[in-house]
Structure 1
Amino acid sequence: MSKGKVVVIGSNANRIETKGGYWGDTGNYLNETVVPMLALIDAGYEVVLATPNGAPPTIDKASDSPAHFGGDEQAYEHAKRFWAEDPSMKGRTLRSILDEGIETYDGIFIPGGQAPIVDLMQDQELGEMLRHFHAYQKPTAMLCHGPISSSAAMPYAREFRAALIAGDEAKAKEWSEGWQYAGYRMTVFQKSEEKVIEDTILHAKIYFDMPYALGLAGAVVDTGPDFEPYVIEDRELITGQNPRSDHPIAKALIAALDRKLGHA
């Protein structure tokens, strides 16, 4: 008997545009996706993966390494098998979750990798989901680049993203008005961490950094030391800063679900 149901939101993006018109490979981080999913399952929760088009996400190549599992080869191989073979990873469309009834879900989790910058942060169906979770104060967790997906809840999410890419700060602020998370404390992959990815993996600059975008929209962004675990909870929202926050955010999300559903 499941304690409750959590929808995990994956991205379908497998490349990201960078300054100068270059494209880099992207996807969802393996550990950021699988570690919390396995923790939720172990805690007695059912997990359902959904993406905009229903296809499973691509593993970000930068995450396909035992290094993201503390060097534990066995944990890494287990995660790879889970991603490839577990029924939880088959994927459904966001639309199918809404049609089924988002009210039947008790929590939502959005992992990172840079992919959410491409599609999730402007996805209208995700925005509908996030507005439901906010209205009912249901646990909402986002990790690394995942917190940028919170902009999907804006009335004009697509316009907000376009203004950020255009470097039009005034327009971005204008399009972000009415955002449900304005005033929330949150964390996200910070600029100095992003620079490492830009310099060593993308070899190009992305159009905007995450703390800047969320701060512009009215979030109170707080970040810890680079590549060290850091998680913030504010009301229903739980955010983690970077890949190493995978275990702490899973623990925080499970605790929040247990409290909300009376399992604590």
Structure 2
Amino acid sequence: MNKFKISSLVLALGIAAAAPTIASAQSHGKVLVVLSSAHTLDLRDGKTYKTGYYLNELAIPLKQIVDAGYTPVFANPKGDTPSMDENSNNKMFFGNDDAKREDALKFVGGFAGIKHPMKLSTVAAKGTQSYVGLFMPGGHAPMQDLLKDKNLGKILVSFHDTGRPTGIICHGPIALLSTMKNPTAFDKALIADDGASIDKLKQGWPYAGYKVTVFSSAEEKQLEGEGKPLGGQVQFYTDEALQKAGADVQIAEPWKSNVVVDRELVTGQQPFSDHALGEALVAKLNAQTSK
């Protein structure tokens, strides 16, 4: 083999190694990765917070999903490129290893689908029967749009009704409220702290009684206020919101890994639950696809 052919082969192998493995003939199936289209979160007193997905909450479980042989398909409400919360681009979420943070950025950036995701309306219209599971990262962004997206509600109900694995982390579980009959009204009732409306609107919620975890009010309060990451106060706390909706919310000590599994649903409390959430979701996916 001449030098030109050897160099070409080495270059090709290098490119193949660098590219994320998103599909192969041996794929165990497609996993729907749901992201937010929100770039800011409305806070109290007219303030806003620049947000998006949390890097490690997306990258770590996604890498586990891909390594297990599943093909991710990205979707969000608008079909636009989702933003990353810049506060998540920090080595503290990667064991203080800056190289791992850099690897996560490259890994996520290597997926063409994340730049051009499907619209949730398209997924809902086509049906979800071709997906073996669903994964949703956190960041504050789901509090802005996903919790009241009716197309997402239809998608989640389809996974719920068929018992297919559904993994969601940090603020992401608030999106379970999208399965309410009137999620927009429920969101408004939460913001207004209107207990009577909440009790009326929550009737028939598919996840009532489910054990879940989510970013805790204790953790959120550490981020709120002037000079803190949020710079203001959220309109409601996600753990209290899910509890009011009828979930059995199980919160652990702040900033400690916590994953709760109940039937098809796998939830993680906050960024430091990323590895455990991914492991639990992949275990569910493997059990599902081996039937």
User: If the TM-score is normalised by the length of the shorter chain, which range does it land in?
Assistant: over 0.9
Match of 1:119 among 145, 154, 158: 145
The 3-state SS of whatever aligns with 1:102 is: coil
Matched, 1:258 2:258: no
Paired residue for 2:16? none
Contact 1:10–1:56 (CA<8 Å) still a contact in 2? no
The 3-state SS of whatever aligns with 1:106 is: strand
Q: Which amino acid aligns with 1:151?
A: L
The 3-state SS of whatever aligns with 1:227 is: coil
Paired residue for 1:201? 229
TM-score, length-normalised on structure 2? 0.88
Larger radius of gyration: 2
Matched, 1:74 2:102: no
In structure 1, distance between residues paired with 2:182 and 2:121: 19
In structure 1, distance between residues paired with 2:235 and 2:124: 31
Contact 2:124–2:152 (CA<8 Å) still a contact in 1? no
Match of 2:276 among 231, 248, 251: 248
Match of 1:41 among 57, 66, 88: 66
Paired residue for 1:22? 47
5 Å-filtered alignment, 1:157-176, equals 157-176=183-202
Q: Percent identity?
A: 39
5 Å-filtered alignment, 1:205-220, equals 205-220=233-248
Match of 1:97 among 123, 130, 137: 123
In structure 2, distance between residues paired with 1:118 and 1:176: 19
In structure 2, distance between residues paired with 1:10 and 1:197: 22
What does the per-residue CA deviation read over 1:52-80, in whole Å, with 9 as the maximum and x for residues that have no partner? 01112110111011111111222211111
Contact 1:157–1:176 (CA<8 Å) still a contact in 2? no
Q: Which amino acid aligns with 2:79?
A: G
Q: Report deviation, 1:84.
A: 2.4
In structure 2, distance between residues paired with 1:86 and 1:46: 11
In structure 2, distance between residues paired with 1:261 and 1:162: 39
Note the residue ranges of structure 2 that are not aligned, 5 or more in a row. 1-25
Match of 1:133 among 159, 163, 167: 159
The 3-state SS of whatever aligns with 1:55 is: coil
Note the residue ranges of structure 1 that are not aligned, 5 or more in a row. none
Single out whichever of 46-55 and 71-80 deviates more from structure 2: 71-80
In structure 2, distance between residues paired with 1:104 and 1:3: 11
Deviation beyond 6 Å, 4+ runs, structure 1: none
Q: How many residues align?
A: 263
TM-score, length-normalised on structure 1? 0.97
Matched, 1:145 2:179: no
What does the per-residue CA deviation read over 1:9-60, in whole Å, with 9 as the maximum and x for residues that have no partner? 1001111111111111111101101111111001100011111011121101
Q: Report deviation, 1:182.
A: 0.2
